[in-house]
Homo-oligomer: A and B are copies of this chain.
Amino acid sequence: MVGSRATSGVEVQLDLAGPRVRSGLEHELREAVRQGRLAPGTRVPSSRTLARDLGIGRNTVADAFGQLVAEGWFVARHGAGTWVADRSLADASAESLAGSPRAPGADRAEAALRARFDLRPGLPDLAGFPRAEWLAAARRALAVAPDEALGYGDPRGLAVLREALAGYLVRARRVAASPGRIVVCAGFTQALELLGAVLHDRGATRVAVEAYGHRLHRDILATCGLATVPVPVDERGAVVAALDGIGGGVGGVLLTPAHQFPLGVALDPARRRQVVGWAADSGSLVVEDDYDGEFRYDRQAVGAVQSLAPDQVVYAGTAAKSLAPGLRLAWLVLPAGLVDEVVEARQRRGLFPSALDQLTLAELVVSGGFDRHVRRARLAYRRRRDRLLSDLARHAPQVEVSGIAAGLHALAHLPAAGPTEAEIVARAADHGLALEGLGAFTYHEPARRGPALVIGYGTPPDHAYTATLARLTAVLSP
């Protein structure tokens, strides 16, 4: 038994015997992670230290580390050593979280067990989070924040952030916003839960949703006691005319007008007018999920539907794509008559976002740092999109790509005659590449569309993008 004390203070006990040192070491390290002796998120001793303590060659240790990184147990950070993967793979597999509906952490943990490369949609480039700018903004914000900001605070979110967001949304997304109508939430999903609760309290029994979208959103509405009714989507966005014959009890419709998720189309101007007309006539709400509105590449940003009818439309924005999901910050701009109800629903549940993150985001927006970051990120994502298009055109010309004008994902249509979505996804998994097919995001639109992949080109870190695209084209090449 040889002990080595990691810099993180975690004790690593390795029991090594016999000739197969490298595979034995790999096994011991896996077990140490699985059993929690090497805790997720902690730093692993350097290969030099471990090799010396164990009396084995440093290359052997380095090779074992490389294998564990490849398997997703460890994460190598440039110049900062090797770390136990933060999301505990051992826990995820042992406790079988993967069965629950769209469990983001567990899904990804499970996939990380088998995939080194990831093009599933839903994440920005987490390596692009502006850590230094964020910390500097936090420092400036905490230097001047009144003590009261650290208390329970305004139930709509801190005024300083609502003020900053109102300015930003008017300027960048043409939203009709004022601080008094903004409610800051701990992520879009919480915002949706609040809206669902309010609609249910108002007597709604159903909410219309696009026929393609996130299962989690429908699950949250179901948790609020609301059934969901699909609205078809075509190349001009949601077919909002379908709302006319939808019947009673519909509290509203959840749309992604700027960049439909996952099809990637923008809601056509005539339909924008049509849907707010429907909302006004029927007394329903339009919920505008503007999840990636900051990222539009080829033409002027599409303005918010909300600006057409601020009393019929709830605008929902988020920092999940523009900064990082881990911030858990999103914001609603509400019709004036809805603010009290949403605040009251929140108070009955006690759901509030972090005051420190709110203060910091406010400072980042007011100082211009948020805009600078979004501009940088937009350029980087545009380049990634262009790379995706040119690589696919060269190596998999039979694949047609759509939904490319905006956002962090595109739709890659597979030839109807070729392999199915499931076959491609499975083939990619064998290549260590995690993909998701359009089927995973389809609510209920029988056989209208051929097979397609929803390619999340924002997901990989920059340094892995080339290798990730190479896997994709290898999987797709005819």
Cβ–Cβ < 8 Å partners of A36 in chain B: 163, 178-180
A86 x B146 contact (CB < 8 A): yes
Instruction: Give A34-51 interface residues, CB cut-off 8 Å to B.
Output: 36, 39-43
CB of A308 to closest CB in B, whole Å: 24
Verify if A354 is at the interface (C-beta below 8 Å from B): yes
Cβ–Cβ < 8 Å partners of A216 in chain B: 347, 350
Verify if A88 is at the interface (C-beta below 8 Å from B): yes
Counting chain B CB atoms within 10 Å of each CB, the highest count among A42, A80, A122, A354 belongs to A354
Q: Which of A18-26, A125-133, A299-307, A431-439 contacts B (4 or more CB under 8 A)?
A: A125-133
Q: Known: A40-B160, A41-B146, A348-B219. Is A343-B180 also a contact (CB below 8 A)?
A: no
Distance between Cα atoms of A350 and B156 in the complex (Å): 19
Verify if A121 is at the interface (C-beta below 8 Å from B): no
Distance between Cα atoms of A189 and B347 in the complex (Å): 9
Q: 1/0 per position for A98-137, CB-CB distance to B under 8 A?
A: 0011111110110000000000001100110101001100
Query: When the two chains form the complex, which single residue of B131, B155, B158, B349 contacts A220, counting CB atoms closer than 8 Å?
Result: B349
Cβ–Cβ < 8 Å partners of A106 in chain B: 154-155
Instruction: Give A330-355 interface residues, CB cut-off 8 Å to B.
Output: 339-340, 343-344, 347-355
Cβ–Cβ < 8 Å partners of A324 in chain B: 150-151, 355
Distance between Cα atoms of A180 and B220 in the complex (Å): 25
Verify if A87 is at the interface (C-beta below 8 Å from B): yes
B349 x A190 contact (CB < 8 A): yes
Query: When the two chains form the complex, which single residue of B96, B179, B347, B353 contacts A328, counting CB atoms closer than 8 Å?
Result: B353
Interface band, chain A: 35 or more
Cβ–Cβ < 8 Å partners of A351 in chain B: 186-187, 189-190, 193, 351
Nearest B residue to A345 via CB reads B223
A148 x B126 contact (CB < 8 A): yes
Verify if A327 is at the interface (C-beta below 8 Å from B): yes
Cβ–Cβ < 8 Å partners of A43 in chain B: 144
Nearest B residue to A112 via CB reads B148
Query: When the two chains form the complex, which single residue of B86, B97, B139, B146 contacts A340, counting CB atoms closer than 8 Å?
Result: B97
Verify if A298 is at the interface (C-beta below 8 Å from B): no
Distance between Cα atoms of A325 and B355 in the complex (Å): 8
Counting chain B CB atoms within 10 Å of each CB, the highest count among A149, A350, A461 belongs to A350
B95 x A340 contact (CB < 8 A): yes
Verify if A389 is at the interface (C-beta below 8 Å from B): no
Cβ–Cβ < 8 Å partners of A154 in chain B: 40, 86-88, 91-92, 105-106, 109
Nearest B residue to A222 via CB reads B348
Verify if A138 is at the interface (C-beta below 8 Å from B): yes
Verify if A231 is at the interface (C-beta below 8 Å from B): no
Distance between Cα atoms of A441 and B48 in the complex (Å): 60
Q: Which 8 A-B pairs have the closest CB atoms?
A: A189-B350, A326-B355, A41-B160, A40-B159, A104-B152, A126-B147, A354-B354, A150-B324
**15 pairs, A vs B, C-beta closer than 8 Å:** A41-B362, A77-B144, A86-B159, A87-B159, A91-B179, A103-B343, A104-B151, A134-B356, A135-B139, A193-B349, A220-B348, A223-B348, A326-B355, A354-B354, A356-B356
